[in-house]
A and B are shown apart, each in its own frame.
Chain A
Amino acid sequence: MVEKDLERLLDALPLEDGMRISFHHHLRNGDDVLNPVLKAIMDRGYKHLHLKASALFPVHKQVVKALKSGCVTDITTNYVSGPVADHLSKEGLEGSLTMQTHGGRARSIIEGGSPIDIAFIAAPAVDESYNASGVEGKNPCGSLGYAIEDAQHAAVKVLVTDTLTTIEHVQIEGRHIDHVLKVDSIGDTSGIESGTLAISSDPIKLKIAREAMRLLKALDAIQEGVSFQSGAGGVSLAVTAMFNDYLKTHGLKASFYSGGITAGHVEALEEGLVGRLYDVQCFDKRAIASLKQNEAHIPISASDYANPSNASRVIGDLDIVLLGASEVDLDFNVNVTSDSYLNLIGGSGGHSDTAEDSRLTIVVAPLIKARTPLIQDRVQTITTPGAHVDCVVSERGIAVNPARRDLIRSLEKTSLPIMSIEEMQALAHHYTKRPAAVKKGDVIGIVESRSGGRLDTIHKKVV
């Protein structure tokens, strides 16, 4: 039976202290499922919950209240920003913070290492057999990739929807589902786009994008049948547009683009520049619409995307990935989890998954951001080990991992500003001066590698 009252649904669920509850982040900053569900659970006085959200965004303010009240004591997530991140950086948490990767989360849920007691799954449209679609309904979010494992492996699975209808594009099968909650609204789709998705007009970012493109050309990396992934940051969007242009002018066709999908990826598909889009999450409305129309735009689960134990994962065939960084160190380790002052600002998401799998991993980032140099002696937190990072492209130079002798050799005769990572650091320090060491506070959690090991610790800020 479809429940229309959250309280009555909670009455029907096997809630207890200490249980592990999960949410997905496909509605991103427009999500209005996590906050009300968590609030209702908190109001019932439950304690010591372990929150397993695939990602936490600025909108998820209820989590701060739940942390303060002792309702939530542990968090496992792949990405955290906004007030929850600020709170964790400054105050820590009673239990522990575990930062996973997109592939690692899927793996741990499937293998049972990270069990979920109750999964609350925002579903834009649900039919009478409890099948769910992400592309139909009044608040479509596109792919439901990060919710698939939750829907299959949680002990109890609840769909939360604002649209009960017949559906054409089934992404979650009703046979897995135990309960459906009908609410007035699961959120605001316009929140999916907030904060990202404009091709940058910042000259520094455009310079970085052009340098990254020059590097790809110099390496002759863009061949017929190439596969490519880039995110939704300003530099990535600009490179995607340039990449598309390159394919067009050279009469080439890429085999697939993967990961988070944007309008730029969709245009390439519709112009015949790429064969397929493997979509684990949609970053804008154009992507959501395309998922509904284009057969070659394929929604995939987090496991099919990046689970290291899944031999047929999409990124196992990835040629090139473009990734961001808040810090890079002299060993090419990359941090996208915190900034240089121990403020949590994100997390791996698919960063370390794709870096490990892709044949060529290029990190793009400004050399100096508000006086803080990109290259540090040691990153505050390792998100992605340096062994999986091949090149770092900044507006003032390109550093190649010395382990990639093949790349260094093929770049020897180019006019690209190739330099060692140490030279790149010295260049940054010329403008910024060398930063004094930043004190680290207590350990509040760990970065977990995609295979489940401990990659690094996460420290609290010293306030």
Chain B
Amino acid sequence: MDIKDVVLEEEKQEIRRFLKRFHLTYEDDIDITLALYEDDALIATASSAANIIKSVAVHPAYQGRGYLNPLMSALIKRLHEKGVRHLFVYTLPEHVDLFKHLGFTSIVESMNMSFLERGGDIRATLVSMRDEYGVSRRAKGSVVINANPLTKGHLHLIDTALEDCGELLVFVVSEDRSFFPFEERFAIIEKALADREGVTVLPSGDYLISFATFPKYFSKQEKNIQKDHAVIDVLTFKQHYMDIFNINVRYVGEEPYSPMTKTYNATMKHYLGSKLRIIERKTLEATPISASTVRKLLKKNGVEAVRKYVPEATYRYLKSESGRRAVEALKSHDARH
């Protein structure tokens, strides 16, 4: 038994072919891939993209014969050396026990998908986050925003929600896959909301991911898989966030454009029922304001063109040294988010 790093393109091709029989794809964001060989034959592989375990497969004739554990041990140790200690995996319910055997614990399980973590404990993490940010024990509302960057549309959502519930938690998606870095997004929001009573701004933590960045490494029925991820995300929020932070309403903006966001909102409605309130978008000159519109304008016409769509805090950031750099990068880049 031999465990090797997959580095060369032709090796990756071999992995792609191997994964195909399991209806798995090899995604572009993968940064580590290990392959297990027995007598020069590829028997098993496992990969990771940042802190997410992906594309794990063992040749059917070798399943149940103890190949998964050495392979995953090697991957877990490798990630640990890189400082990545809190790992996640999305898997099929029938494979949950295999990952539990590797020290993963379940976060949530839906009919079609399970979400597990290793090296962290969602309940303990949220409790300490609650205490660190001094969140009250009273019932309250909440929004989850990516704010990439913060617009007047977001402020409208927050103010409407705040008026409705009196106390509001604003979770900012921590995952750093958006165009503007998390720390900047977070700082802008803190500044913009500084004068509002009853608002607490918190990072979303590692558990809520932006729906736009759901892993989609299952090639089969990709559309359903994205829906499965949406279900997992909503269930994570419902079973853990709403419980620990005593949230009784989640507010979301109505979605006029993206069909994906629409699906996501529909999924939320299904699982949260009356605990979800959809707020009409703020419009400016009859156009709904969205972060993606703002990014498009920024890219095309520069900072001044977006001034009327964003709060002062965002505008100041965009004019700052780091903001200018981000806008320059945006102009030369083709990022979707």
Contact = CB atoms under 8 A, between A and B. Distances in A.
A194 B61 contact: yes
Q: Output the residue of A58, A191, A193, A194 with the most chain B CB within 10 A.
A: A194
A194 B60 contact: yes
Interface string A182-224: 0000000011011100000000000000000000000000000
A61 B94 contact: yes
Contact of B63 (A58, A61, A190): A58
Contacts of A64: 94
A385 interface: no
Nearest to A30: B60
A83 interface: yes
Given A83-B94, A86-B97, A190 B64 contact: no
A86 B96 CA distance: 12
Given A83-B94, A86-B97, A195 B65 contact: yes
Contacts of A61: 94
A18 interface: no
A58 B97 contact: no
Interface in B67-98: 94, 97
A195 B60 contact: no
A195 B97 contact: no
Contacts of A83: 94
A64 B95 CA distance: 13
Contacts of B60: 191, 194
A61 B65 CA distance: 18
A144 to B, nearest CB: 23
A191 B63 CA distance: 11
A82 interface: yes
A212 B62 CA distance: 28
A190 B62 CA distance: 11
Contact of A190 (B61, B94, B97): B61
A64 to B, nearest CB: 8
A15 to B, nearest CB: 26
B92 to A, nearest CB: 10
Contacts of B62: 194
Contacts of A195: 63-65
Contacts of A193: 61
A330 B96 CA distance: 37
Interface string A16-54: 000000000000000000000000000000000000000
A265 B18 CA distance: 34
A58 B64 contact: yes
A293 B97 CA distance: 44
Contacts of B63: 58, 194-195
Contacts of B61: 190-191, 193-194
A194 B64 CA distance: 9
A190 B59 CA distance: 12
Q: Output the residue of B60, B65, B97 with the most chain A CB within 10 A.
A: B60
A241 to B, nearest CB: 20
A187 to B, nearest CB: 12
A86 B94 CA distance: 11
A191 B62 CA distance: 10
A86 B97 CA distance: 9
B297 to A, nearest CB: 51
B97 A82 contact: no
Contacts of B65: 195
Nearest to B65: A195
A360 B323 CA distance: 84
Contacts of B64: 58, 82, 194-195
A171 B43 CA distance: 37
Nearest to B97: A86
Contacts of B97: 86
A61 B61 CA distance: 17
Interface in A143-200: 190-191, 193-195
A195 B62 CA distance: 7
A89 B61 CA distance: 25
A316 B97 CA distance: 42
A195 B97 CA distance: 19
B114 to A, nearest CB: 14
A61 B62 CA distance: 18
A58 B65 CA distance: 12
B98 to A, nearest CB: 10
Contacts of A58: 63-64
A82 B64 CA distance: 9
A61 B92 CA distance: 13
Nearest to A90: B97
A90 B151 CA distance: 51
B120 to A, nearest CB: 23
Interface in B39-62: 60-62
Interface in B98-114: none
A195 B64 CA distance: 7
A91 to B, nearest CB: 13
A82 B65 CA distance: 12
Nearest to A58: B64
A196 to B, nearest CB: 10
A109 B61 CA distance: 33
Contacts of A194: 60-64
8 nearest interchain CB pairs?
Answer: A194-B61, A195-B64, A83-B94, A61-B94, A58-B64, A86-B97, A190-B61, A195-B65
Given A191-B60, A191-B61, 16 more contacts: A58-B63, A58-B64, A61-B94, A64-B94, A82-B64, A83-B94, A86-B97, A190-B61, A193-B61, A194-B61, A194-B62, A194-B63, A194-B64, A195-B63, A195-B64, A195-B65
19 contacts: A58-B63, A58-B64, A61-B94, A64-B94, A82-B64, A83-B94, A86-B97, A190-B61, A191-B60, A191-B61, A193-B61, A194-B60, A194-B61, A194-B62, A194-B63, A194-B64, A195-B63, A195-B64, A195-B65
Interface of A: 58, 61, 64, 82-83, 86, 190-191, 193-195
